[in-house]
Structure 1
Amino acid sequence: MPLREAKSIDTLAAETREADLTLSADPPLTLALDRHTSTPRLGRASATPRSHAANEFVPSDRRRLFTELITQTDLTWKQAHRALDRCLQCWDATGSLDTITDYPEFDTPQFHTARDILHETDSSYHDLEATTLPDSTDLAVINEAGLSPLDRTLLPDSYQQVDPFTGDTTSLPQVHIFPSTTAIVDALITQLDTHTGEAVGIVLDESSLFSPLVESALETAGIPYQGGPGFIDDPDIRTFLRLAEAVFTGSDLRVADLRPLVERLGVDLDRAADHRRVDRVDVGPAYERFVDTLHTGTVDDAIATYERAAESSLTRLREECARLGLLSTAFTPQRLTRLRYYLESFDIPADQPNEGVLLTDGAATSYIDRPVVFYLGLGDGWAQQPPDRPWVDPVEHVQQDLDRFEILLQNGQERHFLVQASQADANTTPCVYFQDLVEHSVESFSDLPHTTHGADATRESVGTPFVAPDRPDTDPELPATISQSTLQRLANCPRAEFFHRLVESPTTISMARGTVIHEAAELCVTHPGAVREHHDAVIDAMLEQIRAYATTARERVERTQCVLALETIQRYLDAHPPTETPYESYSDRSQSNRLAERLGLTVDSSLTERWFQAPGIGLHGFVDLLHSQTALIDYKTGSQSSPSKLRQQASLDPLHDEPNFQAAAYLAQHRRETPGQPLEIRFVHLLEHDTQLARGDTVPLADLVTSVEYLPCTFGEFAARRETFDAVTDYVDSNDRVKALDPLGYDAYREFFEAHDLPREGVDPERREAIIQSFIEYTKPRVNDTMYVERGCRSAVEDIDGLVGERYLTEDLNAFEAFVTDQRERLAAYRKEGFPVCTHEDGPNWDRVDARDLVIDDV
């Protein structure tokens, strides 16, 4: 790929060695040329026009000029910054400050005011405008086209022009394409050590992910670097500002948002409280002192309080606040906003090391005075967009920036271009300037001369586990019982179960709401009279438990939902009171009822929140309410599902992408308690129709309940039941099923299916088809009009499959119990060998993985 060959810094130094002064618009180049000067002299050998005129190494008077504007005018900080920024840009680009008001957009009172203040205030711009080099000066100017009109006011009539290009062409080295950003950083760090830093420069896009990754990697490797984080990136300054913002957020601030901030104050908050409001937890005295100071003290007081708590110094921040006149003022949200705006808008010098690897922004420089240069990314952020200003010629700006880019690519005796192949399954877009440097279209880095790294690395097969410690002498221990929620995690994503045991999941508002409603449901059974008599007190106590997780605006909604849930529970229990019956396989509760404790009540019912642990089937869990010998109640505060949907979610082969085994688990347990009996679990959805209920509409209880049945029979026995016959003939008289089966009658129907064990659809298809055909032949002689028999009989058998689809039969729970045994064995093996991401090809349903950020699947 041909490039215009750029002169090296050494070449430019040699060409300008005899000059009294060398000028360039590129500050890094002037510093590099100064370092290459071997002859003793007074003053700088090379400088930018403004630094020479102001006699400053790096003129930095914008902050001082801003202070003048906000102290001498009524401009807001944003108005002052905008006016200052545009005035200085126009002054530099046109050579005259007065030009700014010639543009209608800026012919406004605020710009007139800013212009007048700048006319009266000393600055490096005034110095440059008032200075002209004498004709006797032996002056060299590198890349005169890069000088602004204001820069050119310094030039004498005669001077040496130095072209930054040689006039020849050169080729660009191959780019090295890596599969990811981290792979690039890893490859980079392996080439560096603490002894080679002074020889290395790294060019990157400071706004990209490369910047923090490279800085972190260098710090981890103990390699010094310069040109890294700026003033606003200082950990203590950033934490101080964010902590102040958090305090001013008010009562809705969450523990999760506060934790990383108070860690710097030595405070460790419980992760289980992540979703709680900060005003509902004890953060600690250091934080409380900071909060109190923020509300009652000055900016200086707040800085001092933070310094004592964090045992660090914010001297530079204090100096900037003093410069702005904020230090002795009350710390208010408005002043915090102004301070952050100022710090983010101005380049404030930061205390940085002056040794080690040099980091520089790919869009801000042309020259890197290092023998070895690494170029990382080379993406869109390496090109400067032309500013939308009336005094800027976009074409000229792009050409100058293209020149800068070409020079930038040729720094160093060794140059290494490390780029990423793609991001988010799309090709990474190379810098737009590559289109101007090659003769063909460049849509990806593979369109340039390149070498690919890591392309042959393929993902390991689905289910590859984490590497576990080698424990050859340890046999996996089969867990005696597991919960239905563990089953769901194992079926969806086994590694999620691993992290569930390692990382405590924080309580969310939905979890807090569900817990307190369940506790209220228990009180409705154990103390129904007290709940009715003290209704408002119960609701108040329920809301108090939720308040820690709800925003202030949300509290009224939560109160309404508590009222609706409590009323629905009472309606259901009034209509279907539980039966007091002794149970052998359920034991006393092992968890407290905080709502009861808050209300001064006790819960000792043998029906509510009953614990079971059944090694025979490998399950344990809690049942909300043992309603009767044959019915269980489970209260739900989430969305409602139909019985058929719940059965689908409990599918074992294949596993459903949203597995739900609660109905199967609880029915499997309860058939041990009451063997040989038809059973059902009723899911009472307390908030499913909350909108209608809140409007005062009447919602039938049946619409709030989803029941899943268990019948202790085989599929063939189910087909022979009277209820099944009635269901498959529940059609109009003209239906084929009715025409075929009504004349046959239930007794004859039952006799056939008792004598023929009909398989389910998909199980032994040949035998099933033979039985269906026999049923048709069995029915024909018993029906006068035989033309509807075949269609009617086949349709009736299809209906039987559909009816079973909403129920569990004996073989279903037997298969489920075998599945539980298999999962327990898998769990034991996972604990020894490692937990895979998933156990099926389609992968997990990530929406149901709590620790998604911990489950790395690109193994």
Structure 2
Amino acid sequence: MPFPRAKPVDDLYEDIAEYDLVVVPDAPLASALNRRLDRPHLGAFAITPRRLAAGRREEAEDRIAFLELVEETDIDWKRGAYAIGNILQCWEHQGRLDAILDYDAYVDDATRQAVEYIADLETTSSQLTEYRIDDDQDVAVVGYDQLTQLERSILPDEYDTYDTFDDRAFDRPPFHIFDSSTAIVDTVVDAVTRENADDVAVVLDQGSEFSALVESALEAADIPFYGGPGFVDDPDHRAFVQLLRAAHGGTDTRIGEIRPLLARLDSAVDVEHDEKRLYELDDPALDWVVDFCDRISDRTFTEALGSFEGRTGRRLDAFRDELETLGIDDTPATEPAVDRLVFYLQSYEVPVDRENEGVLLADAKSAAYVDRPVVFYLGLDEDWTHSAPRRPWVDRDAQYTRNIQQFQLLLQSGATQYYLVQDANGGSPVTPCLYFEELLDEEFERFSDLDSQTHSRRFDRTGEGFEKRPVDATTTEVSAISQSSLSTYVNSPRDHFFGRLVDGPDKDYFREGNLFHDFAEFYVTHPEFVDEAVIDDAVEHVLDETRPFVRSVDEATRRTKYRAGLETIVAFFEENAPVDGEFLTATSDWGTNAFAERFDRPVDSPVTERWFENDDLGVKGKIDLIHSPSQLVDHKSGRRKSASQIVTNSALDPPSDSPNFQALLYLTHWRSQYPDRELEFTFFHFLETLDDVVAGEADLDDTLTTVSYYPETFEAYVRSEAFFDELVEDGANKCQKTLSQVEYEDYAEVFAETDLPETTDSDELIDSAFGQTLTARMKDCVGDYKYVERGCKQAMRQLTRVRGRAFFEDDLDAFEVFVDERLAELNRRRAGEERFPIDGLGGEPNYRYVDNRDLLLEEDR
């Protein structure tokens, strides 16, 4: 259907100028018509039904009825509010107060009580019910379809109606598409000054992020505004409510959950503490908050408010008045009482005194008309769609008509309209308000499918993006990279970039992992000292150190976990004592060790916590244990991975979906120390057998995953006589049977005749020219038997298993080149020559491994 044009107010005024009374559905429209009145007029001219019946500014009767009900009865607040909402809504749509009683499913004792009390209240609905316009008045009704049944009940027998739309189509302005909500808000604030603020309105969904962003931006720019923040939006009101809730939040309340409150109280602590529990974090900045929470059960709401005022140095008179209005000012601030207060503040809009000047902030779901010359519309997404009441007394078709007409009128308010929207948010398309589907003749899924203009701060990869201004700054080149940084960078360069800029909270698993590593290092140095009593003490120390992160109900489980982990570490080293380290050069201590300090014994073993920074190769890291010149060990508290998973996750071209280069990077460094030696990298997952340790059935082998490195190419390795002998002796049955009947030279000749393809797919290898040549040669030597063909397939599957579970010379050579390329690329981006992209080498990042998800603002790239 066409998008009809709203009749201009001047034209509408010409139509109704001679009437005695004009009934309109929206107060701003009434005000606009009244401002155009050019003749003396006694009494109201243009007015809404409710204001006409009440003779004053209408009040929120649902709140008035609620306050009366909770004061006069002991009814549950939530039941009372539910009953009041149903009664008033049914009254609005059916025209009678007791109409709700016709719907048995919605009638209970609370409803009957509420009907009785509301009947005695002087509400605008009761005045509407009793009021009727005199028949001798010449009455015009504008927007009859937008009036409810109760509002229509005041109309005389005869009146004229005028539509709010005319026959012409609305020349809709284009959508202006921005990359982010902050860019939209910046655009609005840039266009507004103190001088023109009274000419500007901003329409937004008050439940969206735009509401807080616009208010804070206008406040920061010292531009007056009204119509936006309500009673509960006052920062001190919000902080006090949050303080009351935190006081009853229990011992599991985390610092991150109450960070806005702490900031308001000037009690903020470092972000590293965000995941720690309030009651377990020993910080003087939190003493007042903890004391308040501990004493909340002994305080009334007034006393709690007074304590908060004393802390902040600010009076909250409006909040104190509201507590008195609710009759709970001298009530103990128990958890149920706080829950009731929070419910009230979330359910009802408490009146606030406003200065009606400056930018008008209008709620998209409440306003139907905004009388300002310039109107900005922010968002216009699906959240602008009204949710029609699902009640039997509501005519849903009529309600939909009211809602969509309100939307049409709202979109055309003002002389100039600007629709400011996002096409995507968080990587997902933004769905336009559902009313557009009916109003527009076009097919669309997002704003960019419609008439639109894009305003994007793009960065061109040639370096010609934003205007550059020279700054006096230098960047330090990165000469070496760790395995964790490399993995993050390959997954998402921009996530890596923000990881260098943004501090994150401590994690319980980081603290646990560091303590387990410290214990392993301590045990290697002092195995004779560690007995059962030392392990008991170590368990308690780990518990003490992690207690800020752990719920008290989980402490027993954690104690079992920590003991099992420490005992598994001891068992591993008892069976696998490392070498003495005489082959290593001396090194200074790296970092501190919690158990060395606790037991006053130094850790000076050269084989543990060995830091390296290899600038020639561009890699750095810390080796947990050098078990021998040919074996490195890394202690892991996470889940065990197989050798094939480790090799797969180390892939370079293309990278794995979950890149992890630890084994590959450490072996590359260690190869530079021992170039011609076979090496092993072992992951020791000391918590892998936790359940078995508790059951007394643990097997250390289940905690270990070893990846080998062979100082030759893969083809040279599998072509060797040693590997051939391995296939003959340890291969699958048919493989042994086949190859035991041929000479090594017959096997080696296949490699001379045909190239071995680069693949870890056994079927691909079997179907390749190499696979066909091997099978043909073995049949020539042994005979054309079915077991020979099967034996060749088993041999080739063994080849691909070896390829997928170990590293070879060409793998480490390729990794060295890979690191050089990444470092060169990283340093270009650090110098500002090109942007850090969101996508990594493998395309879209794996967001499971992204640390700064909220900072990765996606757009068309």
TM-score by length of 1: 0.86
Question: Within 1, Cα distance between the matches of 2:777 and 2:391?
Answer: 92
Paired residues of 2:750 and 2:773 also in contact (CA < 8 A): no
Offset of residue 707 of structure 1: 0.9
* Corresponding residue number in structure 1 for 2:636: 636
Q: CA deviation at 1:324?
A: 0.5
Provide the C-alpha distance between the structure 2 equivalents of 1:308 and 1:418, rounded to a whole number of angstroms: 43
Q: 1:324 to 1:812 in 2, by over 3 A?
A: same
Whole-angstrom CA distance in 2 between matches of 1:850 and 1:791: 48
> Does residue 176 of structure 1 match 2:179?
no
Instruction: Check 1:117–1:185 CA distance in 2 against 1; reply closer, same or farther (3 A cut).
Output: same
Q: Mean Cα displacement is larger for which, 210-219 or 327-336? A: 210-219
Is the partner of 2:58 in helix, strand or coil? coil
Question: How big is the shift at 1:296?
Answer: 3.2
- Contact in 1 for aligned 2:255/2:278 (Cα 8 Å): yes
Q: What is aligned with 1:372?
A: 374
Residue deviations 1:637-664, cap 9 Å, x none? 1121222222222233333333322223
Show the counterpart of 1:495: 494
The CA deviation at 1:398 is 2.8
Of residues 303, 306, 310, the one that matches 2:312 is 310
Determine the C-alpha separation between the residues in 2 that align with 1:378 and 1:395: 23
Deviation per CA, 1:66-116, whole angstroms, max 9, x where unpaired?
222112112111122122222233334444323332332344222221122
Considering only aligned residues, what root-mean-square deviation do their CA atoms show, in Å?
4.2
Is the contact between residue 140 and residue 162 of structure 1 (CA under 8 Å) also seen in structure 2? Answer: yes
**Which residue of structure 2 lines up, in the alignment, with residue 806 of structure 1?**
805
Deviates more, 1:287-296 or 1:790-799: 790-799
Q: Is it true that 1:108 corresponds to 2:105 in the alignment?
A: no
Would the aligned equivalents of 1:27 and 1:48 in 2 still touch at CA under 8 Å? Answer: yes
Contact 1:717 1:757 in 2 (8 A): no
Question: Alpha-carbon deviation of 1:237?
Answer: 1.8
Structure 2 contact 728–735 (Cα < 8 Å) conserved:
no
Aligned counterparts of 2:751 and 2:345: Cα–Cα separation in 1 = 87
Cα pair 1:3 1:169 within 8 Å, conserved: no
- Number of the residue aligned with 1:362: 364
Q: 1:316 to 1:603 in 2, by over 3 A?
A: same
In structure 2, the CA distance between the partners of 1:847 and 1:464, relative to structure 1 (3 Å rule), is: farther
Match of 1:268 in 2: 268
TM-score, normalised relative to structure 2: 0.86
Instruction: Give the 3 Å change call, closer, same or farther, for CA 89–579 of structure 1 in structure 2.
Output: same
Structure 2 matches for 1:585-734, cutoff 5 A? Answer: 585=585, 587-598=587-598, 602-674=602-674, 676-694=676-694, 696=695, 698-715=697-714, 718-719=717-718, 723-730=722-729
Greater shift, 793-802 or 347-356, is seen at: 793-802
Give 1:412's aligned residue. Answer: 414
The one of 322, 341, 365 aligned to 1:320: 322
Instruction: Name the CA shift for 1:170/1:203 in 2 (closer, same or farther; >3 Å).
Output: farther
Which shifted more, 146-155 or 22-31?
146-155
Contact 1:462 1:840 in 2 (8 A): no
Distance 1:619 1:408 in 2: 61
2:805 corresponds to which letter in structure 1? E
Deviation digits for residues 266-318 of structure 1 (CA, Å, limit 9, x no counterpart): 23311122222222222434434543453432212322333343344422222
2:6–2:412 contact (8 Å) kept in structure 1: yes
CA, structure 1 residues 759+244, in 2 after alignment: closer, same or farther (shift >3 Å)? farther
Between the aligned partners of 2:693 and 2:628, the Cα distance in structure 1 is 28
Q: What is the SS of the residue equivalent to 2:367?
A: coil
Q: Tell me, what secondary structure is at the counterpart of 2:391?
A: coil
Displacement, 1:357?
A: 2.6
- Partner of residue 355, structure 2: 353
CA separation in 2, counterparts of 1:372 and 1:774? Answer: 80
Change (3 A) 1:498 1:197: same
SS in 1 for 2:174: strand
Q: 1:12 to 1:814 in 2, by over 3 A?
A: closer
CA, structure 1 residues 397+759, in 2 after alignment: closer, same or farther (shift >3 Å)? closer
Q: How far apart, in 2, do the equivalents of 1:813 and 1:132 lie?
A: 91
Whole-Å separation in 1 of the counterparts to 2:778 and 2:139:
114
- Structure-to-structure mapping, 1:226-245, within 5 angstroms: 226-245=226-245
What CA distance in whole angstroms lies between the structure 1 residues aligned with 2:698 and 2:717?
33
Matched letter for residue 354 of structure 1:
N
Deviations 1:691-735 (A, max 9, x none): 3443x1624322221112233345465346564233222467973
Per-residue Cα deviation, 1:25-56 (whole angstroms, up to 9, x for no partner): 42223333444446677765443343344332
CA deviation profile, 1:457-506 (whole Å, cap 9, x unmatched) = 98856999999985799686452x43222332333333333333322332
Post-superposition shift, 1:446? 7.3
In 2, Cα distance between equivalents of 1:842 and 1:463:
21
Alignment of 1:339 onto 2:341: yes
Of 215-224 and 606-615, more deviation after overlay is shown by 215-224
Amino acid at match of 2:206: E
Asked if the contact 1:637–1:685 (Cα under 8 Å) also holds between the matched residues in 2, the reply is yes
Q: Could you tell me whether the CA contact under 8 Å between 1:256 and 1:274 is conserved in 2?
A: yes
- Distance of 2:629 and 2:606 partners within structure 1: 13
Matched residues in 1 for 2:819 and 2:330: separation?
Answer: 68
Q: CA deviation at 1:335?
A: 1.6
1:703 & 1:229 partners in 2: Cα distance?
60
* In 2, Cα distance between equivalents of 1:292 and 1:541: 27
Which amino acid is 1:396 matched to?
A
Q: 1:531 to 1:816 in 2, by over 3 A?
A: farther
Match of 1:851 in 2: 852
Change (3 A) 1:53 1:715: closer
Could you say what secondary structure the match of 2:815 adopts? Answer: helix
Q: Is the 8 A contact 1:729 1:742 kept in 2?
A: no
Distance in 2 (alpha carbons) for counterparts of 1:3 and 1:845: 43
Give the whole-Å Cα distance in 2 for the aligned partners of 1:102 and 1:709.
Answer: 80
Q: Residue in 1 aligned with 2:762?
A: none
Q: 1:28-427, aligned counterparts within 5 Å?
A: 28-37=28-37, 44-132=44-132, 140-144=140-144, 146-148=146-148, 150-151=150-151, 154-155=154-155, 160-165=159-164, 168-180=166-178, 182=181, 185=185, 188=188, 191-219=191-219, 221-281=221-281, 282=283, 283-292=285-294, 294-418=296-420, 421=423, 425-426=428-429
Q: Quick one: distance in 2 between partners of 1:732 and 1:642?
A: 20
Structure 2 contact 429–446 (Cα < 8 Å) conserved: no
Could you say which residue in structure 1 is the equivalent of 2:482? 483
Is the contact between residue 520 and residue 595 of structure 1 (CA under 8 Å) also seen in structure 2? yes
Q: Give me the whole-angstrom Cα distance separating, in 2, the residues matched to 1:399 and 1:576.
A: 79
410-419 vs 249-258, greater mean Cα deviation: 410-419
Question: Relative to structure 2, which stretch is displaced further, 595-604 or 482-491?
Answer: 595-604
- Mean Cα deviation higher: 3-12 or 487-496: 3-12
Contact 2:204 2:378 (8 Å CA) reproduced: yes
Q: Report what 1:766 is aligned to.
A: none
Q: Are the structure 2 counterparts of residues 145 and 502 from structure 1 closer, same or farther at C-alpha, using a change threshold of 3 Å?
A: closer
* Matching of residues 418-497 of structure 1 within 5 Å: 418=420, 421=423, 425-426=428-429, 428-432=431-435, 435=438, 437=439, 440=441, 443-444=444-445, 451-454=451-454, 470=470, 477=477, 479=479, 481-497=480-496
Give the whole-Å Cα distance in 2 for the aligned partners of 1:132 and 1:789: 102
Match of 1:665, SS state, is helix
What amino acid does structure 2 have at the position aligned with 1:488? S
- The structural deviation recorded for 1:793 is 7.6
* Structure 2 residues not aligned, in runs of 5+: 760-767
Distance 1:490 1:108 in 2: 62
Equivalent-residue separation in structure 2 for 1:153 and 1:798 (angstroms) = 85
Asked whether the equivalents of residues 205 and 211 of structure 1 are also in contact (C-alpha less than 8 Å), the reply is yes
Amino acid at match of 2:847: W
Q: Is the 8 A contact 1:564 1:687 kept in 2?
A: yes
What letter is aligned with 2:305? I
Work out whether residues 497 and 836 of structure 2, in 8 Å CA contact, stay in contact via their aligned partners in 1: no
Kindly provide the amino acid, as one letter, of the partner of residue 844 in structure 1: P
